[in-house]
Structure 1
């Protein structure tokens, strides 16, 4: 099935998260996503709070920048959330913004090597394995979690360029694409991910999460145009989601048809009613997006 979500952007103050998460949960929205952007809000702290405030909402972090985090800490935090809220937490990791990593003295000379090592160790730790590794960046000596998840959870990776997309296919369980990716970009990403999966001998379904700029209301087109200019996104408005429920559902379906399993609606920075936005997506857009249970969409396989 095609899952729908909304991202609570860290440009919104953290004290607003409670009401937005509760509105999403009450309206039946499937997923709420969070970002760990420097130097705004913590992904793990926000995810823990959102999970505690809700009953069935899935909460994704897309993504944690691996240069900021020792892999053992990432595994400990992820395992804790998976055990406390089974089936409701989705973890994504990635390179991070290199300028931000440089600001905190954490920039890696080879982000690809770091991400590969981090993914391998993180997935092994979450499987309950005892890990010893002496990589370029990741070094563990007989480390194992005392409280691993009951079942090995999927780990997603943020990716954009060809090398990162192939790496995600090879070493991660799913891929997160940013809002600049068009339907054609999703198709290209799928091909590159599949190349990596073949190289790594991976089987099972590999979930692709795609973000989509979205705005509704009488000033939707103007706000979305300004948002794309802020992101320096040259995409046409026709490839984004502006307008009523039908228009947004059509934009969602274009990404789904291209290969996105989960589409996360990304509101504009000046969205005047976040709670209303998540209710609108859950109650008016969701019924217009077909759910094909036979496609395997909305599920992540760790195989």
Structure 2
């Protein structure tokens, strides 16, 4: 089972230390969340720095709010990050759910799913080396991975499975129990097969985790509560955080049992020693 880490957003200056510590361990991926109207580092910029501080571990957005971004610029940024990281970049993307992010970006909130569909068509064209439009030529550089970086779609609605099947390489699910995750995974697989895609989609599950003394766990719970404070399921997310080695082991096993190819353990406390504590829980 592949296991990655979601990086904490509370102290961006520590993230290269997190990255080097994680690369020395059993972890496969490092990820960063995306918000605009929030006190988090911009993920593409930060992941470029992390890719430069590492050589093996993958870097991923978890997930990038694509409809608030200009399509051609994002296509170029993603291809560049894939190229400079040596093909270690995964573009996890979604539509976004907070209206203030769209207001700040002067982007339309309504119709964001349709806009994402249009953006994916354009970005796949850019990454394949085709002209951007009839009047605009190709946009480089070419990504390291032919056809563009790996793309995972995150979301909570059936349309997400259809997007995976049309443009993506896989699905990333968060805040679901293993049983719920399994149902989403099966829906993605059915959409993939119905679209006639060869092989199978990559399936990634995310769970929140905090291992350490009480102040570390308390910091993580405060951070999760602040981030999800807009939602009516905030308490469930906070209470569902994995805070013991046994809980981490059980979750990784359970997600693997329903078909996850990778489990991302999102860390909300800035204590870098969590990297070693989590590593010790893994086989």
| TM-score exceeds 0.5 | yes
**Aligned pair in 2 of structure 1 residues 144, 285: CA closer, same or farther (>3 Å)?**
farther
Q: Is the 8 A contact 2:212 2:277 kept in 1?
A: no
Aligned: 1:279 with 2:276: yes
Aligned equivalents of 1:9, 1:84: Cα separation in 2: 23
Q: Deviations over 1:170-211 (max 9, x none)?
A: 331112212x11112211211221233234322222112221
Aligned: 1:124 with 2:125: yes
Q: Is the 8 A contact 2:170 2:201 kept in 1?
A: yes
TM-score where L is the length of structure 2: 0.85
Aligned equivalents of 1:186, 1:276: Cα separation in 2: 29
Aligned equivalents of 2:116, 2:33: Cα separation in 1: 18
Aligned equivalents of 1:194, 1:120: Cα separation in 2: 21
Aligned equivalents of 1:101, 1:235: Cα separation in 2: 24
Shift of 1:129: 2.7
Give the unaligned 5+ runs of structure 1: 133-139, 288-303
Aligned equivalents of 1:52, 1:236: Cα separation in 2: 33
**Aligned pair in 2 of structure 1 residues 192, 233: CA closer, same or farther (>3 Å)?**
farther
Aligned equivalents of 1:235, 1:110: Cα separation in 2: 27
**Aligned pair in 2 of structure 1 residues 66, 88: CA closer, same or farther (>3 Å)?**
same
Q: Is the 8 A contact 2:225 2:238 kept in 1?
A: no
Match of residue 187 from structure 1? 182
**Aligned pair in 2 of structure 1 residues 33, 221: CA closer, same or farther (>3 Å)?**
closer
Aligned: 1:23 with 2:17: no
The alignment of Structure 1 onto Structure 2 pairs a total of residues equal to 271
Shift of 1:130: 2.8
Q: Is the 8 A contact 1:186 1:259 kept in 2?
A: no
Give the unaligned 5+ runs of structure 2: 229-233
Aligned equivalents of 2:137, 2:181: Cα separation in 1: 37
Aligned equivalents of 1:141, 1:197: Cα separation in 2: 34
RMSD (CA atoms): 2.5
